[in-house]
Amino acid sequence: MGDQHPRRLSLPSTSLAGSSLPSVLPLHEARNIEEQSGHELQSLDQGKRRHRKQASLRVDTEIDNGNESLDTDTEPHMPSRKSKSRSPNPRGRQQQQHQANGSTSSSLSSPTMNGSFRERSKNASLDVPEDSASVTARLMGQSSFTLDEAPPPPLTKEEGENSSKGFFELPEQDRRNFLLLVLLYFLQGIPMGLAGGSVPFLLKSYLSYGQIGVYSLASYPYSLKLLWSPIVDAVWSQRFGRRKSWILPIQVLSGLGMIWLGSQAQEMMEKAGANGGAGIWGFTGWWFALVFMCATQDIAVDGWALTLISPANLSYASTAQTVGLTAGHFLSYTVFLALSSPDFANKYFRSSPSTDGLMTLNSYLTFWGWAYLAVTIGLAVLKKEDRSREKDSIMAVYKTMGGILKLRNIQIFIVIHLIAKIGFQANDAVTNLKLLDKGFSQEDLALTVLIDFPFEISLGYYAGKWSEQYKPITVWSLAFIGRLVAAVFAQIVVMAFPAGGTTGWYLCLVVLEHVFSTFMSTVMFVAISAFHAKIADPAIGGTYMTLLATVSNLGGTFPRYFILKFVDAFTVATCIPPSEPPKDPSSLKGDLITQSFSCVLEAEKHRCIDGAGTCQVQTDGYYIVNILCVLFGIVTFWGFIRPAAQKLQSLPMRAWRISES
């Protein structure tokens, strides 16, 4: 029985039609009885498991004071009827049953357990051993028994619940819904790719690492969306549907916000670096608002994903998230970063040089603002959502969320998420910025990410299949080790930067490092997303999924501010005045440097260079912080994260459910 413990069915000792209710034995004592029932009972059980819609049993035991119904499908003495789920998400209920049954070590729908459970609940003769003839006669005497249809053959291994399917093997409805999810996640990736990818690189010309750390606070709404996810789950309109009630207005607001920012962003970005970076707070506030809307949309889309994809193929929901977010992030990070670079445009697209790129931040935001509005109109008109009539009060959802947080397993999982990404945080947050600092050009960085993109997309697809075929936490743990190796490899690449500038071999080395790092990151993300989908309860789908995703995101967000601050804190750099004054003082861009001073901050570094000085770095804080992060990751992974995560993976589905009491 694997993870499932023997269950005992307890019924009130109330008289039924003048006779006492027979005693009930625990399930594990019924195995001999089930073996004696022979091929007839086993075939019927296998047929019931595969063809529940055609014929299944539902047993009602009537008590004096009411009815107590066991969870089967059809009453033996009444016409078949469809049971109604109390969940606002009936398909989600089926998903959880599938997930629980998917374990190789335990299955509630196995012939042994279902057969003994159903028969024991309605016939006292199972309290004593029966021979095969007795069982056969009793089964043939049931009103639901028929010889019109032969029992179907047992499920083969290839047809079993754990078999994986390619995209074109999915049902047509799942394929369409998969593409819809990819589109919705892609739209989220557009502003998120700007906020977390391109804009920090554009700010690097004006701000130091620590000041960019202030801007990193703009990504916090994505990691704190748990605070308002119960509202998204509980408040909605029946006219539009549970998820579209939020997706449609949020996309409209996001589109209008990007159109407005498209007229202001470039000027605001330039002002952010004025007065020692004092303007960074206002600039951060506007991006904070845009990320807030993306986070709210993500809550609704995550909840919708649980019902758009059928339970048997639910792992494709995490694949859709990976493909969509990656594509949107790639477009706003790689493509935009390259096309906004004057050097890239002059090198590949222009015959005469210019100081501007092919597009600006303003034009890019404006275009995608209008695209947001167009997609929203299409979604409102063309896609209908399954309606749900049930509503939960906001306080009830918060209470449910509190119940989730009280689960001991969830608390351990939260701790794992909060500390897991610290080990490679310096690599994720600083390595590319440090390459630009060393002299790696913006267009070469864009080219690196461009080469990496097809690998990331294709490997993200296979990562989803691996998470379906193998245990997600096992895949996640292997990718964790890979990301620690990638962090060390990245530091070696930065240290090996050629004194004369980027060369062909060095560009290949950077591409190799980038592909390896993003591959490990993608596998880790897809695997943990698949585990989230496996353990989440669709009855509170948006809240449960968002809680897990939020904590995972927070683990990668909250350390970033401190990591960037520590890089500046551990860095020692001094501006050395020129040994001889320049022959042409008018060629200087600033005041002539006559004495040494610290040039750690970006503004001081520019002042040094503009005044003919040389900013010499005695101690690079990036190397120190990256080594400390990797050491922290090694110790915590082998000492706590890996054993705790493996233990959580082995738990049955009921360990992740809130007690209804």
Spell out the domains of the chain, with CATH numbers in brackets: 1-163 (no CATH), 167-571+620-654 (1.20.1250.20), 575-619 (no CATH)
C-alpha to C-alpha distances, 616 to 337, 578, 599, 625, nearest whole angstrom: 28, 12, 8, 19
How long a stretch of residues is the chain? 661
Which residues make beta-bridge pairs with 575? 597, 615
Residues 120 and 128: their CA atoms lie apart, in Å, by 11
Residues 241 and 502: their CA atoms lie apart, in Å, by 54
Burial pattern 119-133, b for ≥16 Cβ within 10 A else e, equals: bbbbeeebeeebeee
Six-digit token string for 381: 């008109």
Contact 192, 329 (CB under 8 A): yes
pLDDT at site 627: 96
Residues 360 and 337: their CA atoms lie apart, in Å, by 9
Torsion of CA 603, 606, 607, 613, to 10 degrees: 140
More confident: 231 or 540: 231
Show the 3-state SS of 385-424: CCCCCCCCCHHHHHHHHHHHHHCHHHHHHHHHHHHHHHHH
DSSP state of 147: S
DSSP state of 47: H
Q: Which of 112-126, 368-382, 458-472 has the lowest mean pLDDT?
A: 112-126
Mean pLDDT of the region 136-144? 51
pLDDT at site 144: 47
DSSP state of 540: G
Say if residue 493's pLDDT is above 90. yes
Type and span of the H or E element at 247 = helix 244-261
pLDDT at site 330: 82
Report the share of the chain in percent with pLDDT over 90. Answer: 26
Say if residue 159's pLDDT is above 50. no
Measured between its terminal Cα atoms, the distance across the chain in Å is 26
Mean pLDDT of the region 379-394? 75
List CB contacts of 360: < 8 A, sequence separation 6 or more: 266, 340
What is the Cα 589 distance to its own chain's centre?
Answer: 48
Mean pLDDT of the region 344-370? 87
385: left (phi over 0), alpha (psi -120 to 50) or beta: beta
Which residues make beta-bridge pairs with 430? none
Task: Tell me the CB-side half-sphere exposure of residue 271, using CA atoms within 13 A.
Answer: 10
- Nearest one of 511, 516, 462, 507 to 487, comparing CA atoms: 516
The model scores a pTM over 0.75: no
Which residues make beta-bridge pairs with 66? 63
Say if residue 615's pLDDT is above 80. yes
Mean pLDDT of the region 639-656? 91
Residue for token pair 């209804």: 660
- Nearest one of 260, 234, 281, 188 to 388, comparing CA atoms: 234
Residues 614 and 609: their CA atoms lie apart, in Å, by 6
Mean pLDDT of the region 329-334? 86
Say if residue 90's pLDDT is above 90. no
Q: How confident is the model at residue 514 (pLDDT cuts 50, 70, 90)?
A: very high
Phi, psi of 405 (to 5 degrees): -65, -20
- Nearest one of 128, 283, 134 to 203, comparing CA atoms: 283
Q: How confident is the model at residue 98 (pLDDT cuts 50, 70, 90)?
A: very low
Q: Is 16 helix (H, G, I), strand (E, B) or coil?
A: strand
Q: How confident is the model at residue 598 (pLDDT cuts 50, 70, 90)?
A: confident
pLDDT at site 250: 94
Contact 542, 299 (CB under 8 A): yes
Question: What Rg, from alpha-carbon coordinates, does the chain have?
Answer: 30
C-alpha to C-alpha distances, 152 to 51, 124, 145, 155, 162, nearest whole angstrom: 8, 29, 15, 9, 19
pLDDT digits 0-9 by tens, 573-588: 999 988 887 777 777 7
What mean pLDDT, rounded, does the chain reach? 75
pLDDT at site 12: 39
**One-letter amino acid for residue 502 of the chain:** T
Report the share of the chain in percent with pLDDT over 70. Answer: 72
